[in-house]
Amino acid sequence: MNGYIVIMSMTQKIRILLVKKGNMTEAELARRLDTTPSNFHHKMKRDNFSEEDLQRIGDVLGCDVKMVFVDRATGEET
C-alpha cells in the first residue's frame, strides 16, 4: 500500500460490480430495478443515488451495502 486513499464514486463502484457480476449492462440493471434505462443512465451520470436506490441495486446484484461514518480523530466507525 502506498499510503494513498482511493475514493470512487458510487457510479464507479456500480460499474465495477456490473463487470464482476457477469458483465451485466446498465440497461439490464435498470430493467431489474423496474426503471427505464434512460432514467438509470441519468442517475449514473449525475452519481445521484438515494440510500433506497443503493439498497435496491445491492439486492439485484446480490450485495450488501455498507455505509459508515468514521471518526477522523479516532478512526472509530459508526
- 37 within 8 A of 70, measured Cβ to Cβ: no
- Amino acid at position 68, single letter: V
Q: How far is CA 77 from CA 7, 46, 57, 70, 74, in A?
A: 17, 28, 23, 4, 9
Spans of all domains in the chain? 10-61
Confidence band, pLDDT 50/70/90 cuts, at residue 2: low
H helix or E strand, kind and range, residue 39:
helix 37-46
Candidates 14, 12, 6; CA nearest to 58 is 14
Which pTM was predicted?
Answer: 0.81
Q: What is the pLDDT of residues 28-43, one digit of tens each?
A: 999 999 999 999 999 9
Name which residue leads in pLDDT, 76 or 52. 52
